[in-house]
Structure 1
Amino acid sequence: MRLPFPGLSTESGVLYLNCNNLLEWRSPRKRLPPSSSRVRTATKARARLCGLPLLAISGPEGCSLLSRSDEDSGHQPPVVESLSSGFAFSGTNLGTMDPTVVINTLDEDEQKPAKPAELLVFDDSAHLNKVLMNLNKLRKNKQFCDVVLHVGSGQDMHEIYAHRAVVASVSPYLFELLAQKTKGTLQNQCKINGNFDISAFERLVDYAYTSRLEVPKSKMKAMYLAAAKLKVHPVTKYCGKYLVEHLTPDNCTGVRAILVESMNQELVAEVDAYLRENIAEVVKSKELQSLPHIQVELVQHSSIEMDATNNKHLCHMVLDWMRSSFDQEGVLMETLTEKVHMLYLNLDRTLHDCNDIEAGDAKDTELVQDYKRLSRRLSQPKGSKTKGRSGITTPAKPRQFLYTRSDSSGSSSDEEDRDWKIIATTSTGAHSTMGLAVVSGTMIVLSVVQRLNGPANNGDSSPEVCTTTVGYTTLPPMMSSRCGMGTAEFQGRLLVCGGYDRGECLRTVEAYNLATNRWSTLAPMQTPRGRVDATVLHGLVYLIGGSDGSKELASAEVFNGSTWSALPPMPVARSNTGVCNLDNKVFVVGGWNGKRGLSCCDIFDPLTKTWSSAAPMLLGRYQAGVACLNREVYAVGGCDSWTCVASVEKYNPITNTWTEVASLQSARRGCGVVEYNGKLYAVGGHDGVRSLCSVEVYDAQTNSWSPGPSLTSCRANVGVAVVGSRLFAVGGFNGKAFLNTVEFLDARTNEWTTFVAKSEAQPPVPCIAEDDRDSSREGSAEECR
């Protein structure tokens, strides 16, 4: 509606709505007609009309303009666009014909009521803060509080006094909870279920009363979770933003876990993007050791296939295999993480467990047969074993997808399944890959290693596969399962002495010959010794202390290759010591005397056959890994009286002092420690909760520990030794059983393996020429080419 208001003058006056619903200008000297609409002030604004300042007052019944200029402007009457509380003015300048109206909200001190005698407006901006401040004082003094929130459980229960109206206004969760509590009851006690951090919950209550939140960095995750559960969305938003902006390789997986728990998929996607960009650093972080670890080996027909494999696509195919295992075979996460799974690519273009390979099949090589014997079959419903898996729920990927160089996914789905996906992958060796994945909603670490599968030694071998492919066989197990034994390199062989199994401490001694790939027995020790360590000095094997199953031992003995002889006893009987040699002497570090961890360090001189004492360690410890590096003695991890420790210290024989160096990334006891390629390797062990597969490597130049390649089996109280160019891990306890298995670190691939090439251990397997594969004549390698 456009209404002219005639009679506008430049002198002070009033614009009013007359009985004809037209605006008229009236000088204040003239009285308004009785029929004019009185304006009740609702909104105030300042209008500059063609350079003429005007004070505009509008209300539900009309509008008035008060002139604030005495100059004669000579302007034409303006036009009112509307008469609502959101009205706008427009005017026309006689000279330029340009619109010249601007509307601004008046400041508080400029608001002038139309009739001060009849209307007073008072806006106290400090009132709200004063009310909240006083309510907070009342809460702290427990005055007029109508609800007591019980947070926690058992003896850790905390009472938080509050006012229902305040906390319910801030938290929709508490609003719903308190609304239910007030129905038909005057009960003011309210139990808050859920695993809330007490400190975070109290800070949120403070925020409800003060509108201010202070959260230390250490409490940010707990605060985010508490705010998300209580649905305090402003706090959830800003804490989540802080967490994502402060991601590091060490905390990103933990941050992702709480974001998933709160179902914040937007922030989860940002964390996943960070993981993809920084996966090479993330896989080295110690936080990954707390995640489930699934290890897979893929057998390939040739090294050409191994080199051509796209590792990213391989991980996706492994994920499909795991999903099929969950969906069709009822496999549990615990089953997938308890052993290394050997897979092969079947004719249906999917991965299958090598246990599915039938006897006599071309793929049923000795490598596969050894895997069948050594692995425990995944439990599956009866009759579910099929070669073709016709009931596969996910689309099969073609074989060339595995070997393509493109990283584009072959999936036609636009939306990735949040509960089953590969987040990020990185190459960790020539034919090994490590990645992060989500399996059935759980984040896991996935390790995939490719193995070369030699042909089966039978007449059904495929003609296109040449049998000159290097054959592999497993490292044979020890004759006795054992852990806590003395392990060393002796006369070019791997020597294992004593130790204990579930029943008793052992006297037996075994030696592994790399040339023949066989174990043999040597002369037994004079005394059964478990929880013992060994070292080799000047061609003699020294075994010091230990336990005979009933008490700690002070005795020691030495082995010359054929017989054992007694040595003078140590000053203190003890087990779980660390033993090494330095400067032609034998060092015995720490140990357990039956009551506590020891800090003492004793030295045996083989020339004088006497014991002396060095400076004690900074911390008494037992089950520590002990080794020499750069002419210094290192004591790594172990236990004090009851707790696993991550601390590491070294002994300088020149100054006779111990100094602390960089700590392990994970506390561990019963790890094997040895110098290998100029660095210290801490292998396996136990963190107080579980046996470990992880390995850490110490660089003395940088004084830092970094993750090494993981073992194929978790091993606590493991024996380690370097023989030739190989670092061996022997026996140990995996959390369920004492082990007799052995594995070694392959320096070429930087991976642990339980397989050795036959050519390294025995004469090569004869090669059958392709045109004579049905005859019994043995051909040479040249005939196969």
Structure 2
Amino acid sequence: MDPTVVINTLDEEEQKPAKPAEMLVFDDSAHLNKVLMNLNKLRKNKQFCDVVLHVGSGQDMHEIYAHRAVVASVSPYLFELLAQKTKGTLQNQCKINGNFDISAFERLVDYAYTSRLEVPKSKMKAMYLAAAKLKVHPVTKYCGKYLVEHLTPDNCTGVRAILVESMDQELVAEVDAYLRENIAEVVKSKELQSLPHIQVELVQHSSIEMDATNNKHLCHMVLDWMRSSFDQEGVLMETLTEKVHMLYLNLDRTLHDCNDIETGDAKDTELIQDYKRLSRRLSQPKGSKTKGRSGITTPAKPRQFLYTRSDSSGSSSDEEDRDWKIIATTSTGAHSTMGLAVVSGTMIVLSVVQRLNGPANNGDSSPEVCSTTAGYTTMPPMMSSRCGMGTAEFQGRLLVCGGYDRGECLRTVEAYNLATNRWSSLASMQTPRGRVDATVLHGLVYVIGGSDGSKELASAEVFNGSSWSTLPPMPVARSNTGVCNLDNKVFVVGGWNGKRGLSCCDIFDPLTKTWSSAAPMLLGRYQAGVACLNREVYAVGGCDSWTCVASVEKYNPITNTWTEVASLQNARRGCGVVEYNGKLYAVGGHDGVRSLCSVEVYDAQTNSWSPGPSLTSCRANVGVAVVGSRLFAVGGFNGKAFLNTVEFLDARTNEWTTFVAKSEAQQPVPRIAEDDRDSSREGSAEECR
């Protein structure tokens, strides 16, 4: 055969695409490892290396030979650096800025070639920092996990510092959780001696105030004072750590330096005068001299109140400021607290001691200039933590019916007497009722529907002050309904039937003891706040079937129609709604993500909602009622615990408080043990639907 013909035939066969069945595949699984292994040998012998990394500074400069393609493929940081250095030419000298541990850096280069990392336990922190700076994420994750899993009271603050430096907020949160659980041991560790130490003394006017003080809230208020000092007065960390700061509680519910107390004031005792003299010797600048508020203002976010018993951290719509926070606190004595905090991005040790302020040295103090807080005491908590309860004013007292605590629906009833500052038990309802509402009409308390823990209820009952009686059942069993009274009748609006939100509106006539139906709402909703304003019924927020809504509608009994009005600024369910001073107040609630501290106020004349004063504790499924001139917020769920606490809106300052004048509450408040200050019970957010 002609050789030319053979060659042409082979060329034609090569030009034909190979069929899959004819394709041969050789997979050398060891090839990749061999390539890296050989590259590593070349690196160690300084062969074919196209970059020399200079790590360190001065005489401690180290040269590390490498292949830029290898190290750049492992470290995004080095990729960016080498890409900038190259600029079209192969410049093989590259200085690495940063305080790297040489041993850790070399081990990371070894890892780039071998996929294997060998780290002495003593070098784990240095390895984590080096990997984090070079953005070698698998190593960063491995080392960070190891550090968090091996926390001890002696090393936890140091570990937190390097995690903060690398901005690993997820691991920082895990360390903070460890600190909270082990703070009593952490404060004894020697490692804390290297942290800045800020010491504060709070002067108070009575042992009752000292015993009633919530130490966690006190630390948060001290943090607010420090932040104000940084922001308004330009105070430096060195200034805060050079002496013990003596503070007092001002009328505006903020802490102020005792240097602000004017000479001759009733609070200007010998103790305060000694502190002023010490401050002058240290040339400590005086504070802002703010003595109180010139007018009523609305706080942007809730203030922790010093004498509230709830330890709620208070879910807020604002993201937590990582540069200013209380991490953990622990009691170190009857009236002393120690903890860890972050102040202007720096972790510090905080010590707070409560001191009793003695009588003034001057003899001419009059009752008019006596301390504002000296004449006040705190409101006691309810006997039971509860949310989703019926709340109303009854015979001049604040009445609370049913509700639920964790998964337990309650039948108990209790009333708060403003004159004695005490809670008392009343006759229990015939049926346990959670997710229920109540109203008072002609001196009788009507409690309608709800849930007994296993099913929605159609039943209703009425209370005459001594006993409960059964009423005819509603047409539809439901829970999470809204109840109010208008034109001598009881209105039951919306609710949940176990499957969906309801739009129905039923009316009970106490005279005929019969039920009738009004026009349905425009939107089926449950957990809506319901109240009457200007002889119309309002349904505020709530949920449709699954979505939290901001819409609001009102019912006109003359036309038997519902009309949509201005929506809330924030969607909320489980808020308390009540008429107060001619306006509707929507208090607390839940936005579908968190329990709310915020309050909104509706003006019917302008058909608009505006922000109101924020609660001191966030409360979902909260009960509200107006008793006398006070708007009360009762119980609820703060996102972590069911609450037994109560607060009211002080019309004089337009702020929420748990403080009542002693002249209005003649009975003394019993001593509150440290372990009993947060008697709220923990629960899950799902239980507070």
What TM-score do you get using the length of structure 1 for normalisation?
0.46
Which of the numbers 688, 694, 704 marks the counterpart of 2:608?
A: 704
Alpha-carbon offset, residue 679 of structure 1:
0.2
C-alpha contact (below 8 Å) 2:450/2:456 kept by paired residues: yes
Q: Deviations over 1:133-185 (max 9, x none)?
A: 99999999999999999999999999999999999999999995995999999
1:611 and 1:412, CA in 2 relative to 1: closer, same or farther beyond 3 A? closer
1:497 and 1:109, CA in 2 relative to 1: closer, same or farther beyond 3 A? same
1:473 and 1:255, CA in 2 relative to 1: closer, same or farther beyond 3 A? same
Alpha-carbon offset, residue 760 of structure 1:
1.4
Which of the numbers 309, 327, 332 marks the counterpart of 1:423?
A: 327
1:382 and 1:437, CA in 2 relative to 1: closer, same or farther beyond 3 A? closer
Which of the numbers 86, 92, 96 marks the counterpart of 1:188?
A: 92
Moved more, 126-135 or 617-626: 126-135
C-alpha contact (below 8 Å) 2:443/2:464 kept by paired residues: yes
* Aligned-partner SS, 1:587: strand
CA distance in 2, matches of 1:452, 1:510: 35
* Aligned-partner SS, 2:175: helix
CA distance in 1, matches of 2:438, 2:279: 31
* Aligned-partner SS, 2:512: coil
State the partner residue of 1:20.
none
1:401 and 1:651, CA in 2 relative to 1: closer, same or farther beyond 3 A? closer
Q: Between Structure 1 and Structure 2, how many residues are aligned? A: 689
1:526 and 1:299, CA in 2 relative to 1: closer, same or farther beyond 3 A? farther
Alpha-carbon offset, residue 306 of structure 1:
20
1:155 and 1:646, CA in 2 relative to 1: closer, same or farther beyond 3 A? farther
C-alpha contact (below 8 Å) 1:468/1:767 kept by paired residues: no
Alpha-carbon offset, residue 476 of structure 1:
1.2
Alpha-carbon offset, residue 452 of structure 1:
14
State the partner residue of 1:328.
232
Q: Deviations over 1:214-269 (max 9, x none)?
A: 99999999999999999999999999999999999999999999999999999999
Q: Deviations over 1:63-104 (max 9, x none)?
A: xxxxxxxxxxxxxxxxxxxxxxxxxxxxxxxxxx99999999
Aligned sequence identity (%): 98
1:507 and 1:295, CA in 2 relative to 1: closer, same or farther beyond 3 A? farther
C-alpha contact (below 8 Å) 2:315/2:639 kept by paired residues: no
* Aligned-partner SS, 1:635: strand
Q: Deviations over 1:313-338 (max 9, x none)?
A: 99999667546999999999999999
C-alpha contact (below 8 Å) 1:767/1:778 kept by paired residues: no
Alpha-carbon offset, residue 597 of structure 1:
0.8
Q: Tell whether 2:482 aligns with 1:600.
A: no
C-alpha contact (below 8 Å) 1:285/1:707 kept by paired residues: no
State the partner residue of 1:650.
554
CA distance in 1, matches of 2:88, 2:391: 74
Alpha-carbon offset, residue 510 of structure 1:
0.6
CA distance in 1, matches of 2:190, 2:530: 22
Alpha-carbon offset, residue 737 of structure 1:
1.2
Moved more, 120-129 or 99-108: 99-108
CA distance in 2, matches of 1:452, 1:505: 43
C-alpha contact (below 8 Å) 1:768/1:777 kept by paired residues: no
1:273 and 1:766, CA in 2 relative to 1: closer, same or farther beyond 3 A? closer
1:593 and 1:742, CA in 2 relative to 1: closer, same or farther beyond 3 A? same
Alpha-carbon offset, residue 657 of structure 1:
1.1
CA distance in 1, matches of 2:262, 2:439: 46
Q: Deviations over 1:193-224 (max 9, x none)?
A: 99999999999999999999999999999999
1:336 and 1:633, CA in 2 relative to 1: closer, same or farther beyond 3 A? farther
Q: Deviations over 1:521-563 (max 9, x none)?
A: 1111111101000001111110000000110000000111111
1:427 and 1:367, CA in 2 relative to 1: closer, same or farther beyond 3 A? same
Q: Deviations over 1:454-512 (max 9, x none)?
A: 97999999999968985111011111111111000011111111111014111111111
Q: Deviations over 1:33-87 (max 9, x none)?
A: xxxxxxxxxxxxxxxxxxxxxxxxxxxxxxxxxxxxxxxxxxxxxxxxxxxxxxx
* Aligned-partner SS, 1:433: strand
Q: Deviations over 1:374-430 (max 9, x none)?
A: 999999999999999999999999999999999999999999999689999999999
C-alpha contact (below 8 Å) 1:434/1:445 kept by paired residues: yes
* Structure 2 residue runs without a partner (length 5+): none
1:551 and 1:183, CA in 2 relative to 1: closer, same or farther beyond 3 A? farther
State the partner residue of 2:536.
632
Q: Deviations over 1:707-744 (max 9, x none)?
A: 10011111111100000000011111111111111111
CA distance in 2, matches of 1:192, 1:181: 11
C-alpha contact (below 8 Å) 1:767/1:781 kept by paired residues: no
C-alpha contact (below 8 Å) 1:335/1:378 kept by paired residues: no
Q: Answer 1 or 2: higher relative contact order, Cα 8 Å, separation at least 6.
A: 2
C-alpha contact (below 8 Å) 1:429/1:749 kept by paired residues: no
CA distance in 2, matches of 1:639, 1:774: 31
* Aligned-partner SS, 2:338: strand
C-alpha contact (below 8 Å) 1:634/1:648 kept by paired residues: yes
Which of the numbers 193, 211, 232 marks the counterpart of 2:115?
A: 211
State the partner residue of 2:420.
516
C-alpha contact (below 8 Å) 1:350/1:396 kept by paired residues: no
1:405 and 1:182, CA in 2 relative to 1: closer, same or farther beyond 3 A? same
Moved more, 756-765 or 711-720: 756-765
CA distance in 1, matches of 2:650, 2:449: 32
1:104 and 1:225, CA in 2 relative to 1: closer, same or farther beyond 3 A? farther
Moved more, 554-563 or 413-422: 413-422
CA distance in 2, matches of 1:634, 1:219: 65
CA distance in 1, matches of 2:182, 2:604: 26
CA distance in 1, matches of 2:686, 2:51: 90
CA distance in 2, matches of 1:177, 1:334: 38
CA distance in 1, matches of 2:228, 2:494: 50
Match runs of 1:222-261 below 5 Å = none
Instruction: Tell me which stretches of 4 or more aligned residues in structure 1 moved more than 3 Å.
Output: 97-343, 345-470, 763-785
Moved more, 607-616 or 448-457: 448-457
Alpha-carbon offset, residue 639 of structure 1:
0.8
State the partner residue of 2:195.
291
CA distance in 1, matches of 2:193, 2:288: 34
Moved more, 220-229 or 207-216: 207-216
C-alpha contact (below 8 Å) 1:349/1:397 kept by paired residues: no
Moved more, 709-718 or 236-245: 236-245
CA distance in 2, matches of 1:775, 1:634: 34
CA distance in 1, matches of 2:678, 2:111: 84
Q: Deviations over 1:588-639 (max 9, x none)?
A: 0010111111111111111111111111111111100000001111000111
1:186 and 1:343, CA in 2 relative to 1: closer, same or farther beyond 3 A? same
Moved more, 703-712 or 118-127: 118-127
Q: Deviations over 1:416-456 (max 9, x none)?
A: 99968999999999999999999746999999999999979
Normalized per residue, the structure richer in helix is: 2
Q: Tell whether 2:661 aligns with 1:757.
A: yes
What TM-score do you get using the length of structure 2 for normalisation?
0.51
C-alpha contact (below 8 Å) 1:766/1:780 kept by paired residues: no
1:120 and 1:397, CA in 2 relative to 1: closer, same or farther beyond 3 A? closer
C-alpha contact (below 8 Å) 2:257/2:287 kept by paired residues: no
Moved more, 129-138 or 521-530: 129-138
Q: Which has the larger radius of gyration?
A: 1
Which of the numbers 134, 142, 148 marks the counterpart of 2:38?
A: 134
1:420 and 1:117, CA in 2 relative to 1: closer, same or farther beyond 3 A? closer
1:449 and 1:768, CA in 2 relative to 1: closer, same or farther beyond 3 A? closer
CA distance in 2, matches of 1:589, 1:318: 45
Alpha-carbon offset, residue 344 of structure 1:
2.8
1:472 and 1:602, CA in 2 relative to 1: closer, same or farther beyond 3 A? same
C-alpha contact (below 8 Å) 2:384/2:644 kept by paired residues: yes
1:616 and 1:336, CA in 2 relative to 1: closer, same or farther beyond 3 A? farther
C-alpha contact (below 8 Å) 2:378/2:669 kept by paired residues: no
Q: Tell whether 2:379 aligns with 1:472.
A: no
1:647 and 1:328, CA in 2 relative to 1: closer, same or farther beyond 3 A? closer
CA distance in 1, matches of 2:513, 2:365: 63
